[in-house]
Structure formats: C-alpha cells, structure tokens
C-alpha cells in the first residue's frame, strides 16, 4: 500500500531526512512555521503541501489521527501526533528517554514547561513514543518537566545572586536527577550554558550605569 501522508514533526534534519522518497504518492503535512526553516537550511526533506496552525485531523483507514501544535517548544514548529483510539502519542524531541536535551538553544523554555504539563495529563494516552529511546508513558513528560523547571530556577537564582557563569557551573549540579537521566559533564555544562543564555535575555538585573556585561567562559 502506498504511503498517503508524510507528517513532518519539526524541521530538524535527523527527524525528516530523505522524506522525498515518498513524494510520488504522499502528501506532506507540517506546522505552518516549518516551511521557512526547511527552505533557509536547505533541509533534505519534503516541503509540506498542507500546513496547519493549532491542530488538524486526518483519517487513516477509519482511525482518527490528531496533529497537535502546543506552541513553540524544541523549535517553533514541533508537533505531536495523537491516535486517541489506540492510546498512542508520538512525541519526538518532546518526550525524553534517559537523556536530557543536549541544550536549550532552540527551545522556548517557559512554553515547554506548560506543554509538558498538558501532555502529562492528556486523555487517551497509554503509550508515548519519544523519538529517542524506547517506549514511555505520560510520567516521562512530568519527570522531564521537573528537571527543566529545576534547572531554570537554580540557574536563575544564581544569576540574581550575581554569580558568574563559571560559578554557576560549579553550583548547579542536578545530582538529584541522575537517577532519572544520564547526565554527563558536557551535557550538563551545555544545559547550564544555554539556560543562562535564555535567562540572560529574560531578565533585567539591577546594574547601575547602563547595560550589564554578560559573563562568558
């Protein structure tokens, strides 16, 4: 049976590469924000003929498949694919396996926290396919939300206290999450670096005499 639809979860190359192989039979679908990313980066992928804003339903052999956009997450065009009848949610680069995100450079952290709570309590979800790692369930969203919220608040607290980035690296260890995630030195360093960068643009500190000087390694 020929492939009818190719659903592009988001514009990151490793998740959508060589989808042109289905161009002879399939219609490509993605969020409306995905198109300029695909074109700008020259992704090796189909460009969607159909795009949507918030949600879209498609029918596959009488089974309803719901495409969901929960706002900017890990990219501004990441979508989830929910099959309510089967209790399955495809959450690539949203649900995590045993590894934390490499960094937060392409993430809206505050909206990610909201969306993780939404997905963690979504009805008709028994199985979660994370895209990286084995099968998960909704607890995976809530565990990762706790990690993301914790590192955000810990880095922010140290910034407000006037600590340099290098000092923050030594203070924010995330040791209490090592039972849930494979946190190595470089991945944690990248997480702290990119969270610092995110929060640097989020807040205005009390620095007399003009703009603050951003701390760097």
Q: Fill in the DSSP letter of residue 175.
A: G
- Global pTM? 0.88
| Contact between 70 and 86 (Cβ < 8 Å) | no
Q: Is there a domain that residue 116 lies in?
A: yes
Given a contact cutoff of 8 angstroms between Cβ atoms, the answer to whether 29 and 52 are in contact is yes
63 domain-assigned: no
Give residue-wise pLDDT tens across range 148-167. Answer: 999 999 999 999 999 999 99
In a domain, 19, yes or no: no
pLDDT tens, position by position, 100-140 = 888 999 999 999 999 999 999 999 999 999 877 789 999 99
4 located within any domain: no
pLDDT given for residue 116 in this prediction: 96
* Residue 174 maps to a domain: yes
At 119 the pLDDT is 97
100-118 residues labelled b (16+ CB within 10 A) or e (exposed): bbebbebbbbeebeebbee
Count of structural domains within the chain: 1
| pLDDT tens-digit series, residues 175-201 | 999 998 888 889 999 999 999 999 999
Please check whether residue 51 lies inside any domain of the structure.
Answer: no
Angle between helices 109-120 and 139-160 (to 10 degrees): 150
Cβ–Cβ < 8 Å for 91, 15: no
The answer as to whether 191 is a domain residue is yes
Residue 5 lies in a domain: no
The residue range of the domain holding 175 is: 87-217
């Amino acid at each position: 049976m020929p492939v009818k639809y190719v659903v592009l979860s988001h514009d990151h190359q490793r998740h959508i590469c060589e989808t042109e192989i289905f161009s002879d039979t399939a219609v490509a679908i993605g969020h409306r924000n995905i198109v300029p990313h695909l074109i700008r980066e020259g992704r090796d992928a189909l460009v969607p003929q159909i795009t949507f804003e918030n949600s879209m339903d498609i029918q596959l052999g009488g089974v309803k498949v719901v495409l969901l956009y929960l706002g900017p997450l890990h990219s501004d065009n990441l979508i989830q694919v929910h099959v309510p009848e089967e209790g399955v949610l495809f959450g690539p680069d949203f649900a995590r396996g045993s590894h934390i995100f490499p960094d937060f450079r392409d993430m809206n952290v505050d909206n990610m926290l909201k969306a993780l709570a939404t997905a963690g309590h979504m009805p008709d979800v028994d199985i979660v396919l994370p895209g990286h790692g084995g099968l998960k369930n909704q607890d995976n969203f809530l565990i990762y939300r706790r990690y993301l919220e914790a590192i955000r608040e810990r880095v922010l607290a140290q910034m407000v206290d006037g600590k340099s980035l290098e000092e923050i690296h030594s203070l924010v260890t995330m040791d209490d999450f090592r039972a849930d995630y494979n946190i190595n030195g470089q991945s944690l360093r990248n997480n702290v670096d990119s969270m610092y960068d995110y929060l640097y643009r989020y807040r205005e500190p009390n620095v007399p005499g003009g703009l603050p000087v951003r701390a760097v390694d």
